[in-house]
């Protein structure tokens, strides 16, 4: 069973930075489209950023220019570098791995940004 384990969440002041890391247990990691989603209390889960197996990124408008998604295929790891954080970025951030037959979620990492 494929597992995704997130780390790197925490509490930060507005304007600060955090880096989330997601480690994947699958040897087929390089074939997955990887993504980060987030869910704030009372809100639906939303896509933050995704990256194809070839390394092409895509971002939600709300994080463009502030967040960077990247992947290290030999390490089976995807990252989300978050800069210039805002209080509205506060949410649980989830790692996601997807291919034609699988849609896998991590357990989530809390990110809290104080003003």
Q: What does R_g of the chain's alpha carbons equal in angstroms?
A: 13
What is the rounded CA–CA span in Å between residue 14 and residue 66?
12
Give the whole-angstrom CA distance, residue 70 versus residue 115: 27
What is the tens place of the pLDDT at every residue in 9-49? 999 999 999 999 999 999 999 999 999 999 999 999 999 99
Per residue in 34-43, pLDDT (tens digit) is 999 999 999 9
The token pair that represents 22 in the structure block:
């997601």
Q: Report residue 89 CA to chain centroid gap.
A: 12
Pairing relation of β-strands 57-59 and 4-7?
unpaired
Residues 6+ apart with CB under 8 A from 56: none
């Amino acid at each position: 069973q494929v597992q995704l384990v997130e780390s790197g969440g925490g509490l930060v002041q507005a304007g600060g930075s955090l880096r989330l890391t997601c480690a994947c247990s699958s040897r087929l990691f390089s074939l997955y489209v990887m993504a980060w989603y987030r869910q704030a209390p009372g809100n639906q889960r939303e896509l933050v950023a995704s990256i194809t197996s070839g390394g092409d990124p895509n971002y939600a408008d709300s994080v463009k220019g502030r967040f960077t998604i990247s992947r290290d295929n030999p390490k089976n790891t995807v990252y989300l570098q978050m800069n210039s954080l805002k209080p509205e970025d506060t949410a649980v951030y989830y790692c996601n791995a997807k291919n034609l037959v699988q849609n896998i979620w991590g357990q989530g990492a809390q990110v809290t940004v104080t003003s």
